[in-house]
Structure 1
Amino acid sequence: MKALCWHGVGDVRVDVVPDPRLLDPRDAIIKVTSTAICGSDLHLYGGLMPSLKSGDILGHEFMGIVVEKGSEVTNLNIGDRVVVPFTIACGDCFFCRKGLTSCCDRSNPNAEMAAKAMGHSPSGLFGYTHMLGGFSGGQAEYVRVPFADVGPFKVPDHLSDEQVLFLSDIFPTGYMAAENADIEPGDTVAVWGCGPVGQFAIRSAWMLGAGRVIAIDYVPERLALAASDGRTEIIDFSEETNGVYEALNRMTGGRGPDRCIDAVGTEAAGHGSVDAVIDKVKQAVKLVSDRPHVVRETFLSCRCCGTISMPGVYGGYLDAVPFGAFVNKGLTLKSGQTHVHRYMPILLDKIERGEIDPTFLITHRGRLDDAPDLYKTFRDKADGCIKVVLTP
């Protein structure tokens, strides 16, 4: 089969690789009908996440048709159309029974490697390093799905792939980010980053009762998309000479936003701010793993006793974070990979009822063979690229 494989920093190729096969009675083989390039994939593309190996198949946002299944997969039939959560969960461990599926303690075969870096291992992830399981990803023609009696989520035929594909990751991630922000009716919510997760976090914040939503970015197309709902306010941080903190203070009468969502993660741009420039230099020479410019801004900008939600991906230790501000302002921080299994039925219902049409996000479409070029387009934010969908 064809699959998109990582071969080094900035080097992804469509290779011919062996077809996946069933390895366990709880496995299924999915023929991929749609897959997407995620902002998190760019962290891999740029070599920022450890334990990738040349030839690893990327991609964790995918859906398709069940073409083969193990003897213990009784909830699916051959021919079922399913969306697959990017987090892999067994369904029966301590965390899965609590609905905390992204922390499943049975699905990562390389849990010891992850525990050395993080203290404990989260769940395995598709297409996202050997530290998180070494599972082949979904930017391919076929995928082996472990724990297929738990993960794949059947979707109705009257909805297109593009309407439901993002249930695999970014829609639940944006929604959980808004939920983790503990939004109360009328709250002012600031969202850093208007990429795909940020866009869903913005719309989810409105769904959960926000009174104001302020979107922060510097890419014109992303800011325009955020503002296209007619009520989201925007900050172009490249035009704020005194910085985002001062802009938010000005917009909130000096109090700061009630809730802050960091939908940027490890590759914050910062646009010339001193700390962001230092971060980039340190990361380039591998003195640090992450660029936490937005973490610092959220800690300083959020109002006292407010909540910060962090769906943005970070990989290691953060440098020069103003933790004194966090403690003395009485802030709350919530983060984590998304418990996708929990949110899929909730968000499918919102799609079916017409509360949201996830296709608003898609700007670029292509075949699997187009993936290397589209990775570059997405990374460079060229041609107005916000979200890429591929059809193998």
Structure 2
Amino acid sequence: MKALTWHGKRDVRVEDVPDPAIKEPTDAIIRVTSAAICGSDLHLYEVLGPFMGEGDVLGHEAMGVVEEVGSAVGDIRPGERVVVPFNISCGHCHLCRLELYAQCETTQVREYGMGAALFGYTKLYGEVPGGQAEYLRVPQAQFGPIGVPEGPPDERFLFLSDVLPTAWQAVEWADVPDGGSLTVFGLGPIGQMCTRVAKHRGYRVIGVDGVDERLEMARRHGVEVLDARDRDVPGKVRDLTGGRGTDSVIDAVGMEAHGSPVAKLGHAVTGLLPDALAAPLMRTAGMDRLAALNDCIDAVRRGGTVSISGVYGGMTDPLPMLRMFDKGLTIRMGQAHVRRWIPRLMPLVMDDSDPLGVLDLATHRLPLAEAPRGYEIFQKKLDGAIKVLLTP
């Protein structure tokens, strides 16, 4: 089959790889009909190379049609249309019973002390072949895949794999009071959906980004916007909220935030080292670019909540603990527990009025063969790229 494979920093290629096969009774094989490039994929493209293997198949946002199921898979059958959550969870362990599916004890990557395995996302998360391919092997298919009806386009359901549950959880974790206010830093795909979920729930929403197309998309959905290229964005947030700051803030940016020159240099230096040296250095002394997170801490009101959905990987990040303690902040973060939020999201996705605007997120639709170009335009923010979809 054809699949997008990793070969080094900014070097991804569509190549022939072996077709996946059933290995365990709980496996299924999916013929992929749509996949997407996630902002988290760009970390593999740019920063997390030391944890990648030559030829790893990328992608953790995918949906398609069931081709084959193992003997222990009873809830889905060949011919059924499904969307596949990005985290691989069993549904029956202690943490899954607590609906902490991103921490599934059955698929935890204990070699690295990490949580549940993820599709297409480094050795740290199991090095499971991903969904930017013609076919996908789905472990724990007795629980993971979500059946969706025939008829509506893939775009109606594809974002249930990651973007929508991640955004919903980010807003849930933000603990905005009824009728309260929320600032979202970063208006990529996750940030865009965070603003829409928050608007749907009746909150006042301010969105922050430094890319014109992203600001315009947010405006289109009724969001107040601030340009991150302006000075003192937290000050402007306070100006808009009577000097207090918003009740809650979401960091939808993560480890590669602009405006962090020292950490950016650290990323660059680490990227020049052989993987055998770079990987342990990143795991024990890694440092993220924290400009966005520091702005979040500054922009939230005293006693407020900062919800982090952007991916971080540092072990020695310098946080402003005095500021956080003095303001009495609550911090919540983590990978989305995808299955936990599907019952709340599916009715909204099925609503023909499209209340979350899922049909107004993708900016580019490319064949799988053009996936390398999709990564390039998304990473460099070219041609107005906000969300890139791939069709095998």
Give, in whole Å, the separation in 1 of the partners of 2:241 and 2:36: 37
In the alignment, structure 1 segments of 5+ residues that lack a partner are 116-120, 271-275
Written as runs of structure 1 = structure 2, the 5 A alignment for 1:102-141 is 102-108=102-108, 110-113=109-112, 115=113, 121-141=114-134
Alignment-derived partner of residue 216 in structure 2: 224
Tell me if the contact between 1:194 and 1:217 (Cα under 8 Å) persists in the aligned partners: yes
Contact 1:179 1:208 in 2 (8 A): no
Matches of 2:15 and 2:162, distance apart in 1: 25
Q: Distance in 1 between matches of 2:207 and 2:97?
A: 35
Identity of aligned residues (%): 47
Q: Is the 8 A contact 1:310 1:334 kept in 2?
A: yes
Whether the aligned pair in 2 keeps the contact of 1:48 and 1:289 (CA below 8 Å) is no
Aligned to 1:161: 154
Match of 1:340 among 338, 341, 351: 338
| Aligned alpha-carbon RMSD (Å) | 1.2
Other structure's SS at 1:26 match: coil
SS in 2 for 1:280: helix
Q: Secondary structure at the match of 1:124?
A: coil
1:277 Cα offset (Å): 2.1
CA contact (8 A) 2:36 2:389 kept: yes
Amino acid of the structure 1 residue aligned with 2:157: V
Report the equivalent of 1:235: 226
Q: TM-score, normalised by structure 1?
A: 0.93
Counterparts of 2:179 and 2:320, CA distance in 1: 28
Q: Which one of the candidate residues 233, 247, 253 is aligned to 1:264?
A: 253
Change (3 A) 1:200 1:22: same
How far the C-alpha of 1:112 sits from its partner, in A, is: 2.2
Quick one: which amino acid aligns to residue 209 of structure 1? G
Q: CA deviation at 1:122?
A: 0.9
Contact 2:167/2:193 (8 A) holds in 1: yes
Equivalent in the alignment of 1:309:
307
Cα contact 1:62–1:139 (8 A) shared by 2: yes
**Residue type of the alignment partner of 1:376:** E
Q: Please, which moves more after superposition, 351-360 or 63-72? A: 351-360
Answering whether residue 165 of structure 2 is matched by residue 176 of structure 1, we say no
2:274 is aligned to none
For these two proteins, the number of residue pairs brought into alignment is 376
Q: How does 1:222-301 map to 2 (within 5 A)?
A: 222-229=214-221, 231-238=222-229, 240-241=230-231, 243-270=232-259, 276-286=260-270, 288-301=286-299
The whole-number CA distance in structure 2 between the counterparts of 1:189 and 1:177 is 11
- Per-residue Cα deviation, 1:120-148 (whole angstroms, up to 9, x for no partner): x2110000011111100000000100010
In the alignment, what sits opposite 2:192?
199
Q: How does 1:39-188 map to 2 (within 5 A)?
A: 39-48=39-48, 50-108=50-108, 110-113=109-112, 115=113, 121-188=114-181
Determine the C-alpha separation between the residues in 2 that align with 1:184 and 1:216: 21
The CA distance in 1 between the partners of 2:183 and 2:298, in whole Å, is: 13
Deviation at 1:318, TM superposition (A): 4.7
Distance in 2, matches of 1:318 and 1:291, equals 11
CA-to-aligned-CA distance 1:21-55 (integer Å, 9 cap, x gap): 11100000000000000000000000336421110
Separation of aligned partners in 2, 1:288 and 1:71: 43
Using the TM superposition, give the Cα deviation of residue 83 of structure 1 relative to its aligned residue in structure 2, in angstroms: 0.1
Indicate if the aligned counterparts of 2:254 and 2:311 stay in contact, CA closer than 8 A.
yes
Runs of at least 5 residues in structure 2 that lack an aligned partner in the other structure: 271-284
1:231-278 residue CA offsets vs partner (Å, 9 max, x unmatched):
31111021x23x1121112111211111000000011013xxxxx222
What does residue 118 of structure 1 align with? none
What's 2:368 paired with? 368
Q: 1:8, 1:47 within 8 Å by CA — same for their partners in 2?
A: no
Deviation at 1:157, TM superposition (A): 1.0
Tell me which residue corresponds to 2:206.
214
Distance in structure 2 (CA, Å) of the matches to 1:318 and 1:361: 35
